[in-house]
Structure 1
């Protein structure tokens, strides 16, 4: 094996990789925040909304969950301009991630909502609580405790999936890594470092989410 490892040109541009990692965090975090709002709304429509809207939400969920993310982002970036909707690479990437997270998040939150006993909801009505209060205090809060691990896992999956947005030249860690590789031709070294950065991000966020879970959901379950 005559290959000579060349990490020097990679570490010389390590600040660019850190900037790419930060851009990946920003992109994934923004997509999760907006996607979570979409998920809550669509989960409500699917569980208690009018039947036609519930059908539309179900169709959206099935469409997104059963098609490749790469195809989805290509459709948004290359397909929508045919309809007069032109988006920048970063905007197209953010929209695709929101749509993708929204579909998976809808099913996660729906499962959490349906796990709440109907007797608790009926008790809320008996106490004179309004529907919004019942959803906020009786349904959403216990449901979030139940589905929190699934949502955090979905975020980490979303962050790793965001590497695909480099295919449309959106700014993220993988795209910057590709640029460095093109300039240095140190493919093995560049992608090894990128792999380690993604691993560090995944482990770091997993640890952070577990800490938040212990602090935010450290209360006894109601009986």
Structure 2
């Protein structure tokens, strides 16, 4: 997976982001001020930088100037339109404001990594291989026929692997906010995926919550 630099001076937020990115398989380095970020990038290359703007020593705008085109997501409390425009004009790949949803940050990280080709186009676990580029799923080398919603659900589980997702959140992510069905729809699709992929022991039921795809990091 990707090598990610987290530049955030609030220790609790820095650690929260780091833990969740590591859960889905990324390698993370944390720094807490702008000078440390610049120094780190002078000694090592990164696939992605998650960057606050209001930092000690050097602010995030100055850091991105010296980042040598490292793909960057601004994660900041500065939510004004001028700040957003400035961030994008300086080369940011995305801009997310605080407070933020961790699942949204993970989705944006995945999107930037795919755009910059810093993440694999395929995912493998056991006897299952998923080709994201062609939206194809294979089990024991054989193509598995998945409905569009089964594939979308599978992709959400993979992108958030090792993280427990509630049935309600899965409904929002896969079926949308305006879906009129209930959470039993998620259960039915999960059962179908388990059977098609032989993932009865890999897609875990989280008691009174939802589901988690468990894979080795």
Scaled to the shorter chain, the TM-score interval is under 0.3
Structure index of larger Rg = 1
Normalised to the residue count of structure 1, the TM-score between the two structures is: 0.22
Structure with more of its chain in strand, by fraction: 2
Larger relative contact order, structure 1 or 2 (CA cutoff 8 Å, min sep 6) = 1
TM-score normalised by L of structure 2: 0.22
Structure 1 or 2: larger helix share? Answer: 1
